[in-house]
Amino acid sequence: MGLLPAPASPDLMDRHDFDIPITFKHRVIFTRDAFAVANSGLADILCEGGGRRVLVFLEETVAAAWKALPEQIHTYFEKPDLDFRGVKIFAGGEASKADEFLIHEIWKEIDQSHIDRHSYVLAIGGGAFLDAVGYAVATAHRGVRLVRFPTTTLSQDDSGVGVKNAINAFGKKNWIGSFSVPFAVINDFKLLESQDPESSVSGLIEAVKVALVKDGEFFKWIEANVTALAQLVREPFEECIKRSALLHARHIALGGDPFETGSSRPLDFGHWAAHKMEALTNYQLSHAEAVAIGLALDTIYSQKIGFLSKENAERIIKVLQELGLKTYHPALDWTDAKGNRRVLAGLDEFREHLGGELTVLLLSDLGKGVDVHEFNISLLEQSIEQLREMWELADFSS
Ligand SMILES: NC(=O)c1ccc[n+]([C@@H]2O[C@H](COP(=O)([O-])OP(=O)(O)OC[C@H]3O[C@@H](n4cnc5c(N)ncnc54)[C@H](O)[C@@H]3O)[C@@H](O)[C@H]2O)c1
Ligand SMILES: [Zn+2]
């Protein structure tokens, strides 16, 4: 006898939903000279995880600035209980995120060194290098343990303590990537000393950003210490990085949406325009420079729509200026063949990247944000004009 014909009733969908609970430990460490033999912090962390094999990827610029570092790493790992597989040096910077070249190189090294899911990959470099290496490590064997060593101000006070990695594609920032909690993040303040002074200071923009959206007292502290920060006085500089990194980490761990499944992204304040301007300028504008402009734009716009007081908007712009950050770039005024400002396409791209409806955080106070879902384009254009006028005035007076 053949099978009876199946009834075509939707009631027969046999559905079972499972909640899959999973927690991660996010270890964020601040230290100086992590590879000094006397500093056992890193070795302790690796022992905590129980794995033994270690492979290190080091950004070329950092290797050039710290010539003894590869040798120091070798010496550090001369321990009987660790199986050290060497230091591999690759170029970093935004170019390392531009295509898949570095990803394939990292996969090859991981394979050849027999790194398994219980082994460790250490990545030492700036935010772009860590983003690219992090993506390769997150996808090799579906995820190997990653220990990040951010080496720029921006990567120590923000991206390094995050749980994302990415490379660029289709002319868009961070189009390919994944969410993946690193095994540990080690912020070694010593490594920052080889940055040029401009990058050292400009990376503090993410500290200003997180202060503005999360912690008004921290913003006031930055304001009170702005001269010392601009001069890179060690104590406030390192405190600023630490407070910023911890605010970012706390938001990720306790904010309720670590893998950004919703549409609200407070840590991306000022970033819709920033990401678009980085792409428009073919990455001639660094992430930090672009975020300073994007943050200034959304601050002025927050004032124009009546959310933020004029006094507070002025205080924010003054802090940016005193940190030596520019609040305008001509890319804000570049238009397409139809005469539309090209930067405005950043709003659509931002929405698409997030999924769901457009959600952009604006400021209602120092340390307090509010999500909006649409923009008044005319007021946004007026905000750009105001930034341009301020820039022209400053330019003529200097
Ligand atoms: N994953 C995230 O959550 C996240 C968050 C924010 C930003 N980012 C990404 O981070 C990147 C920006 O990072 P960045 O500001 O560190 O820039 P970067 O990595 O491009 O580094 C800037 C320059 O500094 C050099 N450098 C790095 N460390 C150095 C050191 N110690 N001494 C001297 N030179 C050094 C690099 O070679 C590069 O030329 C962007 O691609 C951005 O999209 C990612
Ligand atoms: Zn950023």
Spell out the domain ranges in the chain. Answer: 27-195, 264-397
- Tokens at residue 220, please? 């006031």
Q: How far is the CA of 154 from the centre of ligand 2 (A)?
A: 8
Q: How far is the CA of 62 from the centre of ligand 1 (A)?
A: 11
Residue 147 CA to residue 141 CA, distance in Å, equals 16
Q: In this structure, which ligand is nearest to the CA of 159?
A: 1
For helices 101-112 and 127-139, the axis angle rounded to 10 degrees is 50
pLDDT of the chain, 398 residues: tens digit per residue: 567 776 666 667 899 999 999 999 999 999 999 999 999 999 999 988 887 899 999 999 999 999 999 999 999 998 767 899 999 999 999 999 999 999 999 999 999 999 999 999 999 999 999 999 999 999 999 999 999 999 999 999 999 999 999 999 998 889 999 999 999 999 999 999 999 999 999 999 999 999 999 999 999 999 999 999 999 999 999 999 999 999 999 999 999 889 988 877 889 999 999 999 999 999 999 999 999 999 999 999 999 999 999 999 999 999 999 999 999 999 999 999 999 999 999 998 888 877 778 999 999 999 999 999 999 999 999 999 999 999 988 865 55
Q: In this structure, which ligand is nearest to the CA of 295?
A: 2
- Scanning the structure block, which residue is given the tokens 């009834």? 7
Q: Whose CA is nearest to atom 7 of ligand 1?
A: 159
Q: Whose CA is nearest to atom 39 of ligand 1?
A: 93
The residues pairing with 17 across neighbouring beta strands, listed in sequence order, are none
Write 341-346 long-range contacts (CB < 8 A, 24+).
Answer: 341/381, 341/384, 342/276, 342/280, 343/273, 343/276, 343/277, 343/280, 343/384, 344/377, 344/380, 345/276, 346/272, 346/273, 346/275, 346/276, 346/277
Sign of CA dihedral 379, 383, 385, 390: positive
Q: Give the binding-site residues of ligand 1, using a 6 Å CB cut-off.
A: 59, 61-62, 65, 92-94, 97, 125-129, 131, 151-152, 154-155, 158-159, 162, 164-165, 173-174, 191-192, 194-195, 199, 203, 287-288
Residue 104 CA to residue 43 CA, distance in Å, equals 28
Q: How far is the CA of 112 from the centre of ligand 1 (A)?
A: 27
pTM score of the predicted model: 0.94
Per-residue pLDDT at 394: 80
Parallel, antiparallel, or unpaired: how do β-strands 368-372 and 360-365 relate?
Answer: antiparallel
Q: How far is the CA of 397 from the centre of ligand 1 (A)?
A: 32
For residue 6, the SS3 value is: coil
Q: Whose CA is nearest to atom 30 of ligand 1?
A: 195
Q: In this structure, which ligand is nearest to the CA of 158?
A: 1
Select 27-195's CATH number: 3.40.50.2300, 3.30.70.260, 3.40.50.1970, 3.40.800.10.
3.40.50.1970
If we measure between CA atoms, which residue out of 229, 227, 251 comes closest to residue 240? 229
Sign of CA dihedral 135, 137, 140, 145: negative
Select 264-397's CATH number: 3.30.70.120, 1.10.1520.10, 1.20.1090.10, 3.40.50.10800.
1.20.1090.10
Q: How far is the CA of 151 from the centre of ligand 1 (A)?
A: 8
Q: How far is the CA of 110 from the centre of ligand 2 (A)?
A: 29
Q: In this structure, which ligand is nearest to the CA of 166?
A: 1
